[in-house]
Structure 1
Amino acid sequence: MSSKNKSFMADLVSVVEPAADANSRPSRLGVGVLSGRNNRLAELASGSVVNNPQELVDPDRCRIWIRHNRDYAALNETRCSDLIESILAQGKQEVPAIVRRVHNDPNYDYEVICGARRHWCVKWLRANNHPEIRYLVEIRDLTDEQAFRVSDLENRAREDLSDIERARDYLQALGLYYNGRQKDMAKRLNQSEAWLSRYLDLARLPTDILGSFADPFELKISHIGAIKPLLKEDDCRAAVLSEARRIREGRRMGEEDLPATVPDIIRAFGVVANKEAEARKKTALVKAPKKSGSDQIVLRNGSGVPLLRIEGKDRKSISLTLFPKDGGSKEEVETALRDLLDRYWED
């Protein structure tokens, strides 16, 4: 530290700590305390230590950040029971929530960046015979992108935040702060792109898939590796979505013998996807001999029954002949037609 800075620190310390009597000999403890204050002030001045104030506040004066990664509406006494018991045992909230000040809003003083669950618990306790408990917050000055990273870092190790909540937060942040550049986002989070991709894939699951699970919060990124391949092919995807809707509707109607756990539901998806894939394999393209100078292609099912005939007329068009009475099913013909669209129709 330069002599000028030392002088500044000495003057600052002199304001905090009255000067010792010149005739009195300072004790060893006094020197240690003064040295400790001097070192602390030096750290604050250099920026190596950040002094973030903490306060006990009324939770009703705190609003939840609109981009918070917690599904606040999904919180309830059951999901928060462990934290409620901990606060009651300690008589207070031990770990402060991270907030930032709110301006130009007469209804709120702070915005909760991290600590929505703590906020819910304190509000619940105050409404249930414990009005003396207040909300402990740590006040910081953060941009939205900084707030996102602080919230993610604090909640990443918490088991009470589900993977689906975190995944939705990442997908939203990708567009808001990183212009859709997954590589940049992974770098800012100090994680691999593969790790981030699994979360983004989870967040992008269709609503029909999520609705088939009794509790979507039980879905993990470890499950995405089994679900994603089932949605790759259009026909398989349609079959899986149909099965998901069947499970959801069946649960709503109180049907029994429905797959209940996450692994069971994923296995049910795999069964219908495999059936659809096998059905596609059974439809074979068979080249027929040339007739009247034109190429003909007859599509048959696995048993050799003709489904339809393709006749090439010119370079811009083809004509089809259906065989509705030769024994092929309507589903097999629909599959064959979809194959034709994929083959001949340019995107």
Structure 2
Amino acid sequence: MSKKQASYLDGLLDGGEETSTPERVRPTTLLSRGSALARVQSGEVKQVTQLELDPARVKIWSGNARHYSKLNEHNCADLLDALVAEGGQKIPAIVRRLDGDPDADYEVIAGSRRHWSISWLRKHSYPDFKFLAHVHNLDDEAAFRLADIENRSRKDVSDIERARNYLAAINKHYGGKQRRMAERLKVSEGWLSKMLKVASLPDNVLAAFSSLDDVLLKPAYELAKVYDDNGRRKGIDAEAKVIALEQQALVLGGQKPLTAAQVIKRLVKADGASREPRDLTGYSKYGKTGRLSLSVEACNRQGVTFRVHAGSGEDVDGLTAAFKDMMDKLKASGIIGN
């Protein structure tokens, strides 16, 4: 975190803490204790409530851009290793107290990965680990700014996620005023404007990307500008649907998906004109048992060959539904007519 960001963070937390006397204080002498108390009373030192919490009684604040559901052993591996090596959490998260919630006593404003990791470790051989947190009094706008400053340095929070988080916050906290929001976040109004434009990209277009983590602000902004053209929107929607099918077929076939750059290039060029049909060979459907039930064996201008896989455990109704779904996707890809 840069000095500028650190200063901004200090300003967010300054004066907003709950104060308390630490439970475990072991001064070496009466003089040192008296000196410490004098510094607290003078305001030179601020005490912050630091608690060891059961993570099951702590929920995640909904205003954070990070998608808690996307956290897993892979993207939290570094933190999991560090927590085990250090014998627990050393850097506290920031939470605020909840009132009237029967399921939780606190909610996390900054520290979602730490919360997930401690929760996971408690279920996997480390039941005594506690969730270490500082308790602060923060309103929703201050909580949003605090979560945002933490997420700016995180590579696992995509520009798309942050952009959508900003779009939700501008009306909720800043009355729709970009300038006011930019001032409060200490960012340029031009940069914020681009983020809000990117947030306007709909889910059906974003579904064309194999991972939103690779979609950067600058190319996404160019795509959003093109999508604003009503004359081209229909073509982009159609191409996005085709690309999404291709991505699925590539993954199921054990191949690498199209990169974000490749997807954006195709979407920006899409104009709704007729295009070559997309080969969906390898596209598959899985039955209720999780086994392969139906797949596209061959796919070209001469026709489409399907393969029904024996031993899938799928019944006739399931196979019929799978076949109908495949036909819909083949229509969308241009392989067969309407």
> Could you tell me the TM-score, scaled by structure 2's length?
0.66
Matched with 1:43 is 43
Match of 2:123 in 1: 127
How far has the Cα of 1:225 moved from its partner? 3.4
Match of 1:117 in 2: 113
Distance in 2 separating the partners of 1:164 and 1:267:
17
1:217 equivalent in structure 2: 213
Q: Which amino acid aligns with 2:39?
A: N
Give the C-alpha shift of residue 135 in structure 1: 0.4
- Asked if residue 260 in structure 1 is aligned to residue 243 in structure 2, the reply is no
Indicate the RMSD between aligned Cα atoms, in angstroms.
2.8
Alignment of 1:1-347 (within 5 A): 34-35=34-35, 37-44=37-44, 49-254=45-250, 260-273=258-271
The Cα offsets for residues 132-178 of structure 1, whole Å up to 9 and x where unpaired, read as 21101110111111111111122222223222222121111111111
Larger Rg belongs to: 1
CA deviation profile, 1:176-195 (whole Å, cap 9, x unmatched): 11111111111111111111
The secondary structure found in structure 2 opposite 1:99 is strand
CA distance in 1, matches of 2:26, 2:115: 38
C-alpha distance in 2, partners of 1:32/1:63?
39
CA contact (8 A) 1:247 1:258 kept: no
TM-score (norm 1): 0.65
How far the C-alpha of 1:230 sits from its partner, in A, is 2.2
After superposition, give the CA deviation of every residue in 1:197-254 in whole Å (9 maximum; x if it has no partner). 1221222112121100011222121222331232232222221221111000222344
Gap change, CA 1:175 and 1:208, over 3 Å in 2: same
- Give the letter for the 1:212 counterpart: A
| Secondary structure of residue in 2 paired with 1:94 | coil
Partner Cα distance (1:163, 1:271) in 2: 22
Secondary structure of 1:266's counterpart equals: helix
Q: Classify the secondary structure of the residue corresponding to 1:152.
A: helix
The letter of the residue matching 2:261 is P
Aligned-partner Cα distance in 1 for 2:158–2:78: 16
Give the 3-state SS of the residue equivalent to 2:73 in structure 1: coil
Distance 1:96 1:17, change over 3 A: closer
Q: Deviations over 1:3-48 (max 9, x none)?
A: xxxxxxxxxxxxx999xxxxxxxxxx9877755543343125xxxx
- Give yes or no for contact 2:235–2:272 (8 Å, CA) kept in 1: no
Give the fraction of aligned pairs with identical amino acids, expressed as a percent.
37
Letter in 1 for 2:101: D
Tell whether the 8 Å contact from 1:70 to 1:165 is kept in structure 2 after alignment.
yes
- Compared with structure 1, are the counterparts of its residues 95 and 102 closer, same or farther at alpha carbon in structure 2 (3 Å cutoff)? same
* Equivalent position amino acid for 1:77 in 2: E
1:95-134 deviations in whole A, cap 9, x for unaligned? 2111111111232111111111111111111111111211
* 1:137 partner letter: A
Q: Secondary structure at the match of 1:247?
A: helix
Which runs of 5 or more residues in structure 2 are unaligned?
A: 1-24, 275-338
Contact 2:247 2:257 in 1 (8 A): no
Taking the aligned partners of 1:200 and 1:213, their CA distance within structure 2 comes to 19
Q: Secondary structure at the match of 1:141?
A: coil
Change (3 A) 1:274 1:249: closer
The answer to whether the Cα contact below 8 Å between 1:62 and 1:108 also exists between their aligned partners in 2 is yes
SS at match of 2:186: coil
Tell me by how many angstroms 1:91 deviates: 1.4
- Shift in alpha-carbon separation, 1:152–1:275, aligned structure 2, 3 A: same
2:165 partner letter: D
Would the alpha carbon gap of residues 55 and 124 (structure 1) be closer, same or farther in structure 2, given more than 3 Å must change?
same
